[in-house]
């Protein structure tokens, strides 16, 4: 049996209603576009003006700050406060305060700021000119009042010369000032040449026990043909010691025991062995 195709029903719509729907949609779409285009400009305009106003104020502040600092710097530079005023020296014992000021080359014509920036160079020049200076610091207070703080080298002895005595410092440097006589309880170094040999003997003295150091009044170079390292020690108790600078530290421990066994004065020979020779038998 053959089935017959039934005719399909097509929904019928009014063409006018379709056009009205499209026109309504298009109108809403156009209104929405107009709203998105015009509305943000009216809203953002006050914020944009406020942002530009703050930018202008900020730029003006930066310009005022820069030129203000330049003006203050210029006024300071031409004022008396920019120059070094009073100068004082602290910490000196063996060096004259005026010598320290002269070595610094600072005066009322010097400027404070360059002095602070070049302090390391200035202090190095001062230490080179005055060996007694161990540490030097330059400080300022009340804008331009300078204070030179000094720490001096320790004195370890006196270098004997024909026309007087020069201090020997713990760093091995010899002071330029010549004194008429030694000061304090320090040994006198005689017969040495300023340099490596003297530095070596000074270091040897520093290694000696304090009891032995206090007992020595003079250390003299006394080289012989057989031993160029021989030294002669003059003791405060009236005795003398012959020794080799290479072995004197280890042999000086016998000195106290040897001199305690006799009431005579003489020479304790520690160069090779350890024996005592009275002055009367020399």
pTM for the structure as a whole: 0.65
> How many domains is the chain partitioned into structurally?
2
- Residues 6 or more apart in contact with residue 51 via CB below 8 angstroms: none
Q: H/E element holding 136?
A: strand 133-141
10-23 pLDDT, tens digit each: 445 555 666 666 67
Contact 219, 187 (CB under 8 A): yes
219: domain CATH number is 3.40.50.10960
76-98 pLDDT, tens digit each: 888 888 999 999 999 999 899 99
**Locus of tokens 């007087």:** 164
CA distances from 82 to 109, 124, 180, 182 (A): 10, 24, 44, 44
User: Residue 124: which domain range?
Assistant: 81-152
21-34 pLDDT, tens digit each: 667 767 776 776 65
Last residue of a domain, one of 107, 125, 152: 152
Q: Which 8-state DSSP code applies to residue 209?
A: -
3 state SS of 227: coil
Structural domain includes residue 30: no
**Does 175 lie in the same domain as 226?**
yes
**Does 131 lie in the same domain as 162?**
no
Q: What pLDDT sits at residue 230?
A: 93
**Does 127 lie in the same domain as 237?**
no
Strands laid side by side in the 164-169 sheet: 164-169, 155-161, 188-190, 216-221, 230-235, 240-244, 266-269, 275-278
pLDDT over 50 at 1, yes or no: no
- Residues 6 or more apart in contact with residue 43 via CB below 8 angstroms: none
Distance CA 199, CA 174 (A): 10
Last residue of a domain, one of 152, 184, 214: 152
Distance CA 224, CA 227 (A): 5
147: domain CATH number is 3.10.20.310
**Does 276 lie in the same domain as 211?**
yes
Of the chain, the end-to-end C-alpha distance in Å amounts to: 166
Contact 182, 188 (CB under 8 A): yes
Phi and psi at residue 158, to the nearest 5°? -130, 135
- Residues 6 or more apart in contact with residue 103 via CB below 8 angstroms: 125, 126, 129, 130, 133
**Does 187 lie in the same domain as 274?**
yes
**Does 274 lie in the same domain as 181?**
yes
Contact 103, 176 (CB under 8 A): no
**Does 104 lie in the same domain as 189?**
no
Q: Which two tokens stand for residue 220?
A: 């003299």
Question: CA nearest 271: which of 217, 218, 228?
Answer: 228
**Does 166 lie in the same domain as 130?**
no
Contact 255, 237 (CB under 8 A): no
Q: Average pLDDT of 49-70?
A: 87
pLDDT over 70 at 259, yes or no: yes
**Does 262 lie in the same domain as 172?**
yes
143-182 pLDDT, tens digit each: 899 999 999 998 889 999 889 999 999 888 888 889 999 9
CA distances from 21 to 35, 64, 83, 204 (A): 21, 65, 91, 116
pLDDT over 90 at 36, yes or no: no
**Does 186 lie in the same domain as 120?**
no
Last residue of a domain, one of 110, 126, 152: 152
- Residues 6 or more apart in contact with residue 259 via CB below 8 angstroms: 237, 239, 268, 276
Q: Average pLDDT of 250-271?
A: 91
């Amino acid at each position: 049996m053959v089935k017959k195709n039934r005719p399909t029903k097509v929904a019928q719509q009014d063409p006018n209603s379709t056009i009205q729907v499209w026109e309504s949609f298009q109108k809403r779409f156009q209104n929405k576009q107009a709203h998105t285009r015009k509305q943000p400009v009216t809203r953002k305009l006050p914020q944009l003006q406020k942002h530009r106003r703050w930018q202008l104020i900020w730029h003006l502040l930066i310009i005022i700050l820069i030129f203000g600092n330049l003006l203050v710097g210029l006024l300071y530079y031409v004022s008396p406060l920019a120059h070094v005023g009073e100068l004082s020296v602290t910490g000196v014992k063996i060096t004259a305060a005026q010598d320290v000021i002269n070595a610094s080359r600072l005066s009322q014509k010097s400027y404070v700021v360059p002095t602070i920036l070049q302090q390391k160079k200035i202090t190095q020049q001062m230490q080179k000119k005055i060996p007694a200076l161990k540490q030097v610091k330059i400080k300022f207070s009340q804008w331009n009042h300078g204070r030179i703080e000094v720490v001096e080298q320790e004195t370890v002895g006196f270098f004997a010369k024909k026309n007087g005595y020069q201090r020997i410092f713990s760093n091995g440097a010899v002071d330029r000032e010549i004194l008429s006589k030694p000061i304090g309880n320090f040994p006198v170094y005689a017969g040495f040449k300023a340099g490596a040999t003297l530095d070596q003997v000074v270091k040897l003295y520093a290694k000696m026990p304090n009891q032995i150091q206090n007992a020595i009044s003079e250390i003299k170079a006394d080289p012989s043909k057989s031993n160029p390292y021989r030294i002669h020690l003059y003791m405060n108790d009236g005795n003398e010691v012959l020794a080799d600078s290479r072995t004197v530290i280890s042999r000086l421990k016998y000195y106290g025991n040897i001199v305690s066994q006799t009431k005579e004065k003489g020479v304790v020979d520690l160069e090779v062995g350890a024996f005592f020779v009275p002055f009367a038998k020399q």
